[in-house]
Amino acid sequence: MIAIPIHETILLPDVTFFFKKETFEEWEVETLSAGDEIVFAFLKDEPDYGDSPAAEPEKPEDLMELIYPVGVRARLEAIDNEGNLKIRTRNRVDILSLTETEEGIVEAEVVERPEVQDLDEEEQNSRFERIRKDYLNFVKMYQWGLWARGFILQWKNIYELVCTMAPYFSITWDEKVAILAEDRVSERYRLIEQAAYEFIEMAKVHNEAEDRQQKENESIYRENALKKQIEILQSELDEMHPENISDVRQFQKKIEESGMNDIARKEAEKVLNRMKQEGQNGHEYGMLYDYLDFVTTLCWKKPEMSEIDLNHAEEVLNADHYGLKKVKERILQQLAVMALRKQQSGSILLFVGAPGTGKTSIGQSIAKALGREYVRISLGGIRDEAEIRGHRRTYIGAMPGRIMEGVKRSGVSNPVIVLDEVDKLAKDYGGDPASALLEVLDPEQNFSFTDHYMNVPYDLSNVLFVCTANQIDTIPEPLLNRMELIEFPGYTELEKESIAKKHLIPRAYEAMGIRKSQLRISDPAIRKVIAEYTMESGVRGLKKRVEGICRHAAVRLVKGEKKLSVTPANLKEYVDGRGLHRDKVEKKAVAGIVTGLAWTAAGGEILYIETKKVSGSGQVIITGQLGDVMKESVSIALSLVKERFPKETAELSKYDLHIHVPEGAVPKDGPSAGITITTALSSLFTGKKVAPTIAMTGEVSLRGGVMPIGGLPEKLMAAVRAGVKTVLIPKENVEDLEDVAEEVKKSLEIKAVSSVAEVLKYTSISD
């Protein structure tokens, strides 16, 4: 008897089926004819034909492994002209074996499977009618119920119900075959009823869920449609009466047009919803309004990198600032890198120098050269971290930090921001603002800088940061490492004269409303102001003096004078106050007194080291408000002198040694007075005098070496102003002479020394 394997289609006895010819393989259709007996064998797994439909499945040696042992005997009733088959199932069978012929036909050896008739015909019909009635009631609820009703009425018995509905039942293939394999009729009916009613209940639940989902979707669609209509109407009203646009509507529009990132947009929309709920009379309305006003005013859009014209940038820098050759070269290098990479890049520049040397104003020139907005933020005296990172919005009076406030003030996302006085940041219980700056200035972090007030990331990588400081000693090392130090040397008198004529005087004329024809300041008068009325490395004091001259001139012009001329002879009439006292080298040499050079925040100065022996008990007296570093230098110098001049210092215990640095009201410290103190003590003990026109700078080691120092350009300029002729500098500072103006180097005889012995030999203290 021919066996036809099937899968996922359950067949029960006494049911008529119509199969399309495509259901069977070609050899099965060609082999069968009307009246043939066949056996349907139920495959355990769906046959796998591989990638190609024509591929033959791998078959085990025993075909019985592929099927369940129970099958259904059927009779082929008819085959129509198109090859479709009408089959009527008869009874269940046990399949004993399967064999495959040479032609590829599978034949089965079967025996009839007995049934246990423990359910009479009347009960069977009753159960069937009850299930069919329940199915008819079930399909009434649906649009397709009329079609389904006609289909259900065609069922003649419960087996036709199962065979029709089996594909839709939620039971497994094993459970479907178990219905066929059940010998007891009552148990088979129970399994059928269970599967049939499970289908009805699951269908009801599914349909109820779909109905609820559809209602929810309809509600959402309706709500969205209403909102859209409201927005359209509101937009028309806003156009007709722009003065009546509500705060909420304004912020909605700003948020849409702002170009915020997703995180910022979600936060802004969240705050806007809270603002809607609060209403204008809510106690948090003002705080929410201020927040939205801030974040929507910020520029979130990343601008395209504009072309950088280096020639134009160089012209701007030269026009705005005189001198500063190396500084300008470094700035142009940074701009060149940005021009090549087409993006913000390079180090954070730290300009270090005395007040009035142009550190802040050159940042403004950089912004002008790039065509960007300029923002200056003063950090001097800040001691609260929240000044940088902002305050949490939970605090009363919360505000954004100065960085984000500066970005907002600029109106763009790529301004040039000058952080002024980074060396004057303080630290207390409110946090460490210098540490907060680490994230701001680090290119690896500032692309997602989060201000506490905003609570959303903002990209600062497009901002060009420039920092300024008078000294680096107070800047924390981690912060200093993130910046590239560029030193601003002090101006020479010749440079100050040029700056006064090209910049300071024209600006003062404009500020005071004076024309060139009304007031003339002669070059000798300018030089006298520089020499006698200013003492700084920068030009801030000179600017004040020039403005003072112009103010005095303005009074005279208003009183009726027509033309004024300022000369050295009448300069006192125009300058406020007396000239400044400047240290000049002594004319007479005195044993124990040596001229030194020091660096201060205002530039370089000469520094006298005075020593004297008086009767006493061997004490060392130090006066002049010396710091710890200079006190240590005194100890080292004294040890070196005792070693080099043992005879002269043998009776030191009978004397008190007094070391003094004049201007005792001014604190002094720094590692550059070592050789000056050593030379002064050597001069004192040997009685040999050192010419006052010889100045020196450098620290000493206990081995007698001369150590390098900083601030050499400022110190040499101070030496020139004081009338020094010869300067001794550490040998390791020779390279720093490149930063010294040529006119300064021409005015001095500069000697490089590497040991205390060389210093003493040059000063004729020791042969």
Active-site residues, by number, are: 672, 715
Handedness of CA 718, 722, 723, 724 (dihedral sign): negative
- In a 10 Å sphere around its CB, with 0-12 CB exposed, 13-18 middle and 19+ buried, how is residue 657 labelled? buried
Contacts of residue 443, Cβ cutoff 8 Å, sequence gap at least 6: 345, 461
Find the length of the chain. 767
Residue type, 220: I
Give the H/E segment covering residue 622.
strand 620-623
Place of tokens 């040529």: 742
Q: Identify which of 420, 324, 402 has the alpha carbon closest to the alpha carbon of residue 364.
A: 420
**Paired strand residues for 728:** 696, 751
Angle between helices 121-139 and 185-240 (to 10 degrees): 0
What is the distance between the alpha carbons of residues 413 and 408, in angstroms, rounded to a whole number?
8
Rounded alpha-carbon distances, angstroms, from residue 197 to 147, 203, 419, 493, 729? 20, 10, 79, 107, 106
Q: How far is CA 450 from the centre of its chain?
A: 8
Rounded alpha-carbon distances, angstroms, from residue 329 to 287, 318, 685? 48, 11, 50
Residue 625, both tokens? 């408000």
Place of tokens 């004078």: 561
What is the distance between the alpha carbons of residues 498 and 404, in angstroms, rounded to a whole number?
39
Rounded alpha-carbon distances, angstroms, from residue 120 to 116, 129, 130, 178, 182? 11, 14, 16, 22, 17
What is the distance between the alpha carbons of residues 48 and 57, in angstroms, rounded to a whole number?
6
Q: Identify which of 384, 356, 364 has the alpha carbon closest to the alpha carbon of residue 320.
A: 364
Angle between helices 121-139 and 158-165 (to 10 degrees): 40
Residue 563, both tokens? 């033309």
What is the distance between the alpha carbons of residues 676 and 695, in angstroms, rounded to a whole number?
8
What is the distance between the alpha carbons of residues 398 and 384, in angstroms, rounded to a whole number?
13
Q: Identify which of 710, 641, 703, 706 has the alpha carbon closest to the alpha carbon of residue 670.
A: 710
SS3 label, residue 445: coil
* 184 phi and psi angles, rounded to 5 deg: -80, 125
Q: Identify which of 361, 454, 374, 456 has the alpha carbon closest to the alpha carbon of residue 414.
A: 374
279: left (phi over 0), alpha (psi -120 to 50) or beta: left
Q: Identify which of 215, 214, 246 has the alpha carbon closest to the alpha carbon of residue 230.
A: 246
Contacts of residue 29, Cβ cutoff 8 Å, sequence gap at least 6: 21, 79, 83, 85
Contacts of residue 685, Cβ cutoff 8 Å, sequence gap at least 6: 641, 645, 648, 649
**Paired strand residues for 252:** none
Where do the H-state alpha helices sit in 442-539?
477-481, 493-499, 505-512, 523-533
What is the distance between the alpha carbons of residues 413 and 462, in angstroms, rounded to a whole number?
7
Hey, how many other C-beta atoms are within 10 angstroms of the C-beta on 665? 6
Residue 502, both tokens? 């090209």
Place of tokens 């002008």: 368
Dihedral angle, C-alpha 461, 466, 469, 471, nearest 10 °: 80
Handedness of CA 168, 173, 177, 179 (dihedral sign): negative
What is the distance between the alpha carbons of residues 638 and 335, in angstroms, rounded to a whole number?
52
